[in-house]
Amino acid sequence: MTTFAEPDAPVICRDASETRAHAARLLPFLKPGTIIRLHGPLGAGKSEWVRGLAFALGIPGEIPSPTFTLCQPLSGGKLPLEHWDLYRLEKARDWESLGWPECLITPGLVAVEWPDRYPGRWPEPIVDLEIEPQKDGTRRIRQNHP
Ligand SMILES: Nc1ncnc2c1ncn2[C@@H]1O[C@H](COP(=O)(O)OP(=O)(O)O)[C@@H](O)[C@H]1O
Ligand SMILES: [Mg+2]
């Protein structure tokens, strides 16, 4: 697999463990406060990637998914991690009542699935990752620079 010496080079992840390993290898390059926006279709491996990040941070125990809770705070690791899944948010939603986008400014890391649901401005710093399922079942992960 490629290293992050070339951040734009896409990486092929052949199974879920490689998707998690991708997150672990990116972690040293993520400064506290970074928002990781995870793009990709349903089933791409976005939640798996966040699980890999949680493991790499040393977050103990089960890693619950935020599918029904919108936001899953994950603590006990080297940095706090907030895992958002905006999939269930439809057009009419009071982002202000959720505290967006100010609540995204944290001392830890924030990972957001379905970031395109949010129409407003995002605080920096941001890392954009795109996970693209391939015909052979593997996933291609590309890091974009906004
Ligand atoms: N590189 C990969 N190759 C094959 N399957 C993968 C890969 N990465 C993740 N998966 C699997 O894809 C499925 C969907 O992953 P998930 O993280 O729930 O997707 P998403 O959150 O994008 O909807 C899971 O079974 C996961 O283990
Ligand atoms: Mg998911």
Q: What is the pLDDT of residue 67?
A: 73
Residue 13 lies in a domain: no
Q: What is the pLDDT of residue 5?
A: 46
Q: What is the pLDDT of residue 7?
A: 55
Q: What is the pLDDT of residue 145?
A: 55
Residue 92 lies in a domain: yes
What spacing in Å lies between the alpha carbon of 6 and ligand 1's midpoint?
24
Q: What is the pLDDT of residue 2?
A: 40
What spacing in Å lies between the alpha carbon of 49 and ligand 1's midpoint?
8
CATH number at residue 54: 3.40.50.300
Residue 113 lies in a domain: yes
Number of domains in the chain: 1
pTM (two decimals): 0.93
Q: What is the pLDDT of residue 93?
A: 64
Q: Which residues of the chain have pLDDT under 50?
A: 1-5, 146
Residue 39 lies in a domain: yes
User: Cβ(85) to ligand 1 under 6 A?
Assistant: no
User: Cβ(48) to ligand 1 under 6 A?
Assistant: yes
For ligand 1, atom 14, which residue shows the shortest CA distance?
Answer: 43
DSSP string, the chain: ---TTSTTS-EEE-SHHHHHHHHHHHGGG--TT-EEEEE--TTSSHHHHHHHHHHHHT--S-----TTTSEEEE-SSSS-EEEEE-TT--SS--HHHHTTTGGG--SSEEEEESGGG--S--PSPEEEEEEEE-TTS-EEEEEE--
User: Cβ(139) to ligand 1 under 6 A?
Assistant: yes
Domain range enclosing 67: 32-144
User: Cβ(141) to ligand 1 under 6 A?
Assistant: no
Q: What is the pLDDT of residue 92?
A: 54
